[in-house]
Homo-oligomer: A and B are copies of this chain.
Amino acid sequence: MAFLKKDLPKRSENLSDWYNKVVLMAELADYGPAKGTMIYRPYGFAIWELIQKEMDAIIKEKGVSNAYFPLFIPESLLKKEETHIKGFSPELAVVTIGGGEELKEKLIVRPTSETIMYDAYSRWIHSWRDLPLMINQWNNAVRWEKRTYMFLRTTEFLWQEGHTVHSTHEEAWNMVVWAMDMYKKVYRELFALPGYVGRKSRAETFAGADTSISYESLMPGGKALQSCTSHDLGQNFSKAFEITFQNKEGKNEYAWQTSWGLSTRSIGGMIMAHGDDGGLRLPPRLAPIQVIILPIKAEAALIDTAEKIKAELKKHGVRVQIDASENESIGFRINTWELKGVPLRLEIGTKELAEEKVTAVRRDTGEKIAVPLNELKTTISTLLDAIQANLLAQAEQFLKDNTHTANSYDELKQIMATSRGFISALWCEQEACEKKIKEETKASTRCMPLDSKEENGACVGCGNPTEHRWMFGQSY
């Protein structure tokens, strides 16, 4: 890895250029050879592993089991739910040759697993005693993209997809909300990314769902990122796949279903939201390396102290590494680890060693703190917590500063032409109106916040009567 800081475009000047470069330079990812594909390099994949570890524990605690369903879905199966196949057909990758022969039936590389899972569910579920059936999988999925926007838009992505079956709609809806609550917790506490939770408009609802709810976060430049979704599938799939159960009264009923997913796209949002002109700023809870120790020079006493500090911090669960590369200057090494977004840097020089201190430098603020060696453990832990909290606070301030209210179409246009961000406005919930607003202003409906109160008024786009206030924004 040899790069110069000057090779990194300024985030403040050209966001997408900065993004593409920082992902490569920080060695988070690389382009794959097929169009639209990406390689998750160890540093980037380690972030996903941290997300998986935390979420997997929450999912299991809820009583959801992990399983693994096949990658290949026979075309006929994918076609069983009409809206579903309509939604996904433009994005499919299709296997037509297997074992050297043209296949009689094409196989679709899973874009999502509703159909292949529910085909099995229909065989497994017979009685109310088999419910709820709650399964999650961590896997890869494929939705065709011509251009790669690493993490954010790729032909293949990694995710978890939860798929549950319930005996009542109420229980299913509680699951939809439970999943979104989990995502919200994970986004806030791990990613340090606040957002709005709400119901998607009809046009933006998942293909095959009755209702979709999403977490919408805000990117620099004022664009909104749909960060994950949770779907109330109603009985749409249970009717298409004949998922019925005998209820306690001995009568057959169609089951109620949910599905919910969070993908590696979330990492893209985090990179974009927290980075700065110096590179990444990773929240400590998702940083593969939380503390980097830099001996100023390659001297035995400094390296020895570095090793001791590393051992002590490691013992207390801190993810820590030393960079004592002899062939790279201290300035170069500082730039490298700043670029890679390591939350805390510990510099050890001869003078500091004499005073039994190290200098801790915060990646989020640049602040330098002299830390006595005998207070290291507590101070590092406190500082990591402070950095995590500060990144969230900064993102919350940014979200607050960029959430606007538009009382007229002119106001909405005005906001979209300047700062963008989230725009709260009354909307009639008609698809034609939604389409017009998007074409004219680039703002689409992001969601109707779940706590949105009934509000009768005039639609911001067409003046027709409204029931609720919605969030608009330009989507990524």
Contacts and interface: CB of A to CB of B under 8 A. Distances in A.
A384 interface: no
A410 interface: no
Nearest to A107: B34
A442 to B, nearest CB: 24
A46 B66 contact: yes
A45 B66 contact: yes
A69 interface: yes
Contact of A34 (B68, B74, B97, B142): B74
Interface string A94-106: 1111111000001
Measured as residues with beta carbon below 8 angstroms from the partner, the interface class of chain A is 35 or more
A116 B33 contact: yes
Given A66-B42, A67-B41, A116-B32, A72 B97 contact: no
B70 A156 contact: yes
A30 interface: yes
A139 to B, nearest CB: 7
B109 A144 contact: no
A142 B72 CA distance: 10
Given A33-B74, A34-B107, A109-B109, A68 B97 contact: no
A77 interface: yes
A72 B34 contact: yes
A34 B46 CA distance: 33
A74 B35 CA distance: 10
Interface string A41-72: 11001101100000000000000011111111
Contact of A39 (B40, B68, B73, B99): B68
A417 to B, nearest CB: 33
Contacts of A32: 69-70, 72, 116
Q: Is the interface of A mostly helix, strand, loop or mixed?
A: mixed
A444 interface: no
B139 A140 contact: yes
A236 interface: no
A100 B95 CA distance: 12
B123 A109 contact: no
Nearest to A41: B67
Contacts of A95: 93-96, 109
A418 to B, nearest CB: 35
A247 to B, nearest CB: 15
A33 B119 contact: yes
B68 A120 contact: no
A115 to B, nearest CB: 9
Interface stretch (A84-92, A162-170, A307-315): A84-92
A67 B93 contact: no
A37 interface: yes
Interface core residue of A37, A124, A135, A139 (most chain B CB under 10 Å): A37
6 contacts: A33-B116, A34-B74, A39-B69, A40-B67, A42-B65, A139-B140
